[in-house]
Amino acid sequence: MKKSGIFITGTDTGVGKTVVAAGFALALKALGLKVGVMKPVATGCQGFEPRLHSEDAIFLLEAAENEYPPLTNPVRYRNPLAPSVAAVLERKAVNVAHIHHAYQELQKYYDFIIVEGIGGLMVPLKKDYFVTNLIREFHLPVVIVAHGGLGSINHTLLTIDAAVIRGFDIRGIIFNRVSRVNVSLAEMTNPKVIHELSGVPVLGTLPDIDGLDARNCCFGDLKEIFEERIQFQKVLPTPTVPA
């Protein structure tokens, strides 16, 4: 039976998808859900074959308290490049069947699966196969992570447009690393403008999190701030009302 889940994508690399995915894991876990996490493809991994590891994937694994690292991050590359490029350099093609198998296995153990993409929607995983292909094949709704400052309107609307064209269900946008003090005019106005132009709901904004250290798997105040500032329950499926 296919389980519920969400696909976390971004307007770019480095916007904080991993922090947002971990926040969802912590908050949904607190509701009593068995939450599984997945980062299908990671580049810029540490170590050497066959023990390459992704710090982002480990951070997610710890947040959700999952027990199956090979399923969480089935495809890993050492070079910090788009997967299709890293695959050529490292002579190791992205195995899409392996990714699908890992996703299907995770569904056996968890009620809700949080999948974090790599970069944005149009990052190529291999020739003629993008992050968008993976979202479509997983049949998951999407949450977009964006930065709140200057340039966010263009980047976010382009991402929304790419998702809408492909018929994706966009559950909302989260603006990450928004200033706590001395908030810029762009940060103050962009969420409202983007919502008015796109019709996509804004689920909330996140500041930098005190005590958060992804490398050492320290979550700081992430759970509490996420619960306070993000409408995270809106990613859950609407209960079916009996006729």
Per-residue pLDDT tens digits for 130-169: 999 999 999 999 999 999 999 999 999 999 999 999 999 9
Q: Closest Cα partner for 7 from 172, 160, 135?
A: 135
Phi then psi dihedrals of residue 111, to 5 deg: -80, -30
Catalytic residues: 39
pLDDT in tens, 193-210: 999 999 999 999 999 998
Token representation of residue 158: 């382009």
Instruction: Using pLDDT thresholds of 50, 70 and 90, give the confidence band for residue 240.
Output: very low
- 164 CA to centre of own chain: 18
Dist. CA 176–CA 61, nearest whole Å:
21
Q: Are 191 and 148 in contact (CB under 8 A)?
A: yes
User: Would you state the pLDDT for residue 193?
Assistant: 98
Name residue 211's amino acid.
G
pTM of the model: 0.95
The DSSP call for residue 75 is E
Token representation of residue 57: 């994937």
Question: Which residue ranges form the domains of the chain, and what is each CATH number?
Answer: 4-152+171-184+191-231 (3.40.50.300)
